Structure 1
Amino acid sequence: MKLIYLTLLVLPAALLCFQSANTILAKAEEDELDDVVDIEGEDSQVVGDDTLGEDDDSVVKSSQDVDTTILFIKPVTSLGDATFDIQAGFPVEFLVGFINKGAEDYLVESMEASFRYPMDYTYYIQNFTALPYNKEVKPKQEATFAYSFIPNEAFAGRPFGLNIQLNYRDASGNFYQEAVYNQTLNIVEVSEGLDGETFFLYVFLGAGGVLALVLGQQALSSLARRKAPRAAARPLETGTASDVDYDWLPKEVVNQLKKSPKTPKQSPRARKAKRSAGDD
């Protein structure tokens, strides 16, 4: 019982401490993410303006002789689905189709992906690895390229712009860059298994159930003892002459006892009166 009471006293305090630690950790991750957004956004603001500006002659555009398509494998989406949710900490995989409709060869050099600030795509949140391919695509042919990345778990619960760019050249050496995908996605947090907070909650509920059972058993036992009738006093058994065992006596003594007349029992007062008369 002492162990149960001690457990019930300690578990709520431990559960509160665990929840406080989770709150502090989540707040720290949010602050760190805000710092990353501010720092990386300031560093890459000029780059974004140079890349997306329309009046700049140095802007890299896509070729009119090339068509591209994208299909997400993880998470599974339909071909025409533009917006969906991705899971933080889990890989995102997709395929990009490259179709050469022109009359000259194209060399697909690399593909890269990045998270952008959803309100302003010139701000970079996170850049993923540029995967090199260096694959030549002949005229009237097509090729498929695979790419994957893993979103940081600190980004869970926030929307980000996903930008996927394909870099390629033609036979004349002209460089092209096409945004295969440029949409805002929600990064969701997926909780799997039994976390610490849920474990402590189940332990606390189990300890409470055991305590309730013990208290109920004690209450029922006390009530049963109060309602039980008192046992009646058993009569005192007295032995009789017939109950005496004579087997250990010799037969002559047993026969003599059976033949001798039985003297009547006298009360102590009568024996005292008889003794006084004899003295006179």
Structure 2
Amino acid sequence: MIFENDKVAVYAQDGDSVEGEDDEDTVVENEDGVEDADQAVTDLPAGHTIRFLVGFTNKGEKTFTVQSLECSFRYPQDYNFFIQNYTTAQYNQDVGSRKQATFEYGFTPNEGFAGRPFGLSILLNYKDEEGNSFMSPVFNETVNIVEPDEGLIDGETFFLYVFLAAIAVLLLVGAQQLLASFSKKHRSKKSHRQPVEMGTQNTDVDYDWIPKETLERDLNKSPGRSPKQSPRQRKSKRTAGSGEE
């Protein structure tokens, strides 16, 4: 893929240079050294830092000063409309005659841009010894911002699994507490229903050894409790009883 203007010839390929119409060439290189530049710059992962190298070769007799590099996303249908401007990298590096210099730049596409196409514009600013300034488009094409490949489980899926596991643990704890409360109430009701042992009763009692007068006196008593008597009253009653005999 080649870009040309009246000053430079630019293309994105690994390491080669293209003869320009003037004294300088600009070469864009992908850091991974991928030969297929179209594939290297078409799909960019959202939320990941994209780094690239720009090679500048001075084939003339004058010294050029590479000043800065600008990067921006633009509306694909109208490159005059800016969507996002990234920080301008300042280099201010002199490139002498028959010399070459490489410049690195990096930017991070916003995660909200995933799934959308954007116009990627990369501009290189430089000047000659007389102070004449130039701006050359290093890259000016439409790219696709794609979801990053995180492997089998991405961050959102991982946190979803953690959230579901926490809910499952809470449900298990709640069920255990409910079962324990129900078992406790059941045991409490069962303990209240247990009969109280009264002991064994035997009606075969031998009353022959008890004096007859005592038995008759006990039988003639009312079911209520007899009033208490003083020792003097009990003594007088015994005396009266012995006199009658």
Structure (1/2) with the larger strand percentage? 2
Aligned mates of 1:151, 1:118 — CA distance in 2: 15
What runs of 5+ residues in structure 2 fail to find an aligned partner? Answer: 9-21, 173-245
Q: Which runs of at least 4 in structure 1 moved beyond 3 Å after TM superposition? A: 60-63, 193-207
Give the letter for the 2:45 counterpart: Q
Q: Structure 2 counterpart of 1:120, which letter?
A: D
**Aligned to 2:37, what secondary structure does the other structure show?**
coil
Alignment of 1:1-280 (within 5 A): 62=7, 64-73=22-31, 76=32, 78-82=34-38, 83-190=41-148, 191=150, 192-193=154-155, 194-200=157-163
Q: Deviations over 1:212-264 (max 9, x none)?
A: xxxxxxxxxxxxxxxxxxxxxxxxxxxxxxxxxxxxxxxxxxxxxxxxxxxxx
Q: CA deviation at 1:141?
A: 0.8
Provide the rounded CA distance (Å) in 2 between the counterparts of 1:134 and 1:149.
20
TM-score normalized by the length of structure 1:
0.48
In the alignment, residue 178 of structure 1 is paired with which amino acid?
S
Give the superposition deviation at 1:154: 1.2
Moved more, 149-158 or 188-197: 188-197
Cα displacement string for residues 37-96 of structure 1 (whole angstroms, at most 9, x for unaligned residues): xxxxxxxxxxxxxxxxxxxxxxx96452211111222xx462342242111111000110
User: Taking structure 2 as the reference length, what is the TM-score of the superposition?
Assistant: 0.54
Specify the SS of the correspondent of 1:172: coil
Q: Which has the higher contact order (CA 8 A, sep 6+)?
A: 1
- 8 Å contact 2:30–2:37 — kept in the other structure? no
Q: Flag the structure with larger Rg.
A: 2
Give how far 1:123 is off.
1.0
Query: Is contact 1:61–1:176 with CA below 8 Å preserved after alignment?
Result: no
Runs of at least 5 residues in structure 1 that lack an aligned partner in the other structure: 1-59, 211-280
Question: How many aligned positions are there?
Answer: 149
Q: Greater helix percent: which structure? A: 1
